[in-house]
A and B are shown apart, each in its own frame.
Chain A
């Protein structure tokens, strides 16, 4: 059995990189801010270059572990925009450096209280929200089989906080006649991995992989960008032996529309619609076009915000920020809502329940609707 992390220290690998040129702070040729954390806190410590140097200093013994380090170490959505903008040799290692730094912080000082809370919740209830698992109820309610070709991995946020995304996804799959089921899934582990609590995440991954196997699935579908990244890029590291394909729902819906399994019924929208790239789906997994193609094939024109695709401004909720740094999360999302408003959008679409949750909080009281792409698609298909 392998591990979700390698034994090689990425901090050690890049121990003498980064002159703090500042390229990570702004979108390189567009000169708009790229770093939610740096923009919110302002001190150099809160930019990628600051965190890299903290990691190096702790490694070299120039700085001692101290609880005051926890804020700069954890107040980052690990959105990876810094990696997009950095032109130095360590560019692709920045998020890995931050996540290794977080694992070390947890080892030395323990997790942040908010992160400890959701970790405890996962231990008790298998989800970070401490909700009673409902997968059996969902199978019964929707008449789903115990085993099927496809498993819909709902994800905790869609299942317990943004249920409309779960329901729309199930509705779309049923409309298209897809053979699928829902297993008694555990949290995918993403919130734990991003917050330095990787040991607990590995146990969850093993359980989930066993559930996928028991269901006889050859494909795992998920409507959550964070779950998708974890299932597709981190689970294989456990044993390198995944007999199933992992797809984000945006990668799957196009084929349903193209093949006529999903039929668009409504005329094109009159509303102005824009699309926010979730960091887990976009920068981390390189999926920018599939959601746009699905939305476009449904006859919806997307008006792009100024920062989009690999330069997209983060929604502010990832990396444990939503739970531990609420003001930063909300302020970051407010900026994204403003980006949408600046193109006169009536609807801000995304493809991630966590993005929807945070953007909705920020859009509260604003004249803009925040939706997931599956919700939009469910409205216009039969």
Chain B
């Protein structure tokens, strides 16, 4: 019996396909990374089914590639080797638990940011999760395990830091838990004080097992939240100002972007040009507190810092969100209400890509300045995003490119991304959601003993190398 027939026997014909249509549709993602067709696609509905799939694959040495809600980047769900089976986990979509006292939720892979938001609003209105600049129906688990960022990252860091624990099917078929959930159900309050085995699965791009449950932190919804907009000039000046603002601790979040992106939100059509004299960056600043006085004080602190910086760059402008709403109408409320809504401006064509990195604060401004030149040289729109991370322990920046997947454009995209990556690596930055080509370059810049250790861990957990083989250039 071949593997497809065996999978059909395990899951039923309706949950397995090796038809040309599915093999094609699961062969690519939105980025410029090269497509490769899987052998088949399977859709388990339960952890037990996942375990059986993994056991079978391990027995027969069949490569498995996890996949969830489909908005994939970096080629991360494109098989690196032939005859892979894609495991589509979207049917596993239960919000299993929300613990109001310890403020966490335990969810399955298919739970999206949008669905958790709805669930909390209806059932737990005093709690909030966080949202990324991603489509609203993006898997929480995928974004968290890939250590992405969100609208609480300025205060709390990358989403990988929000993990309290995991349930994982290991490549050899065992079902394990990590984090405080090891001591029983309804007990996913922390990942400490234990050997921090979350690190065996977070950031591994699905190479060490299939995570079937994830416990992530929630936060109290603050009684008062206010926003402000900051328009700034110059890469160095902007990042210096953001560093000082963030270190005060008054910000919940700072979402800084090229002004082009604001113009896109306001309806300016492709391609959006940069005009002389316009601000380089627009930043959405979020403040929260328990009272209006508390929040006003925080906004005042931020305003004073901006005023101080205007001595060096007089054109910097701090604007209350009330003013923005008066200027652009109700859409301003929608942008801050759910940042995922703003993702629509990136869905212009069939292609979207970026090189995103976490970087030392000292190199942040230089990275932006030189990156901007690279993007301009390649003839793409200027679409930089940057965010102070984890209280300004580090910064994040990326240059997004929206593009039509035509041959010549793809070549230009690849060339631009390679140049951006070389720049980032030269500044000690680490790329996230890393495609294989970028991981290969990364390996040549980092401590080889680290790469060896990663390989040893992978080999130990996955002796038959069935989980996403070839990923991260291993």
* Residues on A facing B (Cβ under 8 Å): 16-23, 25-26, 28-31, 41-45, 49-50, 53-54, 56-57, 62-64, 66, 68-69, 71-72, 87-89
Whether B347 and A19, one on each chain, are in contact in the complex, defined by CB atoms closer than 8 angstroms, is yes
B20 lies within 8 A of A43 (CB): no
Q: Is the CB of A19 within 8 A of B20?
A: no
15 additional contacts (CB under 8 A) given A21-B30, A49-B70: A16-B404, A19-B352, A20-B71, A22-B70, A23-B137, A42-B15, A45-B22, A50-B25, A54-B24, A54-B25, A66-B19, A68-B19, A68-B20, A71-B21, A88-B347
**Which chain B residues numbered 44 to 85 have a C-beta less than 8 Å away from chain A?**
69-71
Q: How many A-B residue pairs have CB under 8 A?
A: 107
Evaluate contact between B70 and A20: CB separation under 8 angstroms. yes
Q: 9 tightest A-B contacts by CB?
A: A87-B344, A16-B404, A19-B30, A68-B19, A21-B135, A31-B114, A31-B118, A22-B137, A88-B347
- Could you tell me the distance between the alpha carbons of A69 and B112 in the complex, rounded to whole angstroms? 29
Give the distance in Å from the alpha carbon of A53 to the alpha carbon of B69 in the complex: 16
Measured CB to CB, the closest approach of chain B to A226, in angstroms, equals: 28
A78 to chain B, nearest CB (A): 18
Does B349 have its Cβ within 8 Å of any Cβ on chain A? yes
What is B's interface to A at a CB cutoff of 8 Å? 14-15, 17, 19-22, 24-26, 29-30, 41, 43, 69-71, 88, 90-91, 112, 114-115, 117-118, 135-138, 338, 343-344, 346-352, 404-406
Enumerate 20 A-B pairs (CB-CB under 8 Å) in ascending A order. A16-B405, A19-B30, A19-B349, A21-B30, A21-B343, A22-B135, A22-B138, A25-B137, A31-B115, A31-B118, A43-B17, A43-B43, A49-B70, A54-B25, A57-B24, A63-B20, A66-B19, A69-B19, A88-B344, A88-B348
Closest to A30 in B: B118
Min CB gap A48→B, angstroms:
12
Q: Contact between A69 and B136 (Cβ–Cβ < 8 Å)?
A: no
- Give Cα A178–Cα B43 distance, bound, in whole angstroms: 56
Q: With a CB–CB cut-off of 8 A, which chain B residues contact A49?
A: 70
Say how far B320's CB is from chain A's closest CB, in angstroms: 26
Residues of B near A45 (CB, < 8 A) are 17, 21-22, 25
In the bound complex, residues from chain B placing their C-beta under 8 Å from that of A42 are 15, 43, 88, 90-91
A20 & B344 in contact (Cβ 8 Å cutoff): no
Q: Which of chain B's residues has its CB closest to A53's CB?
A: B25
Measured between beta carbons, the chain B residues less than 8 angstroms from A66 are 19-21
The answer on a CB contact under 8 Å between B118 and A62 is no
With the chains together, A324 CA to B43 CA distance in Å? 23
**Neighbour of B136 across the interface among A20, A23, A54, CB < 8 A:** A23
Interface pair B118/A43, CB less than 8 Å apart: no
Chain A residues whose C-beta falls within 8 Å of the C-beta of B19 in the assembled complex: 66, 68-69
Residues from chain A with a CB closer than 8 A to the CB of B43 are 42-43
The answer to whether A21 touches B22 (Cβ under 8 A) is no
* Min CB–CB distance A63 → chain B (angstroms): 5
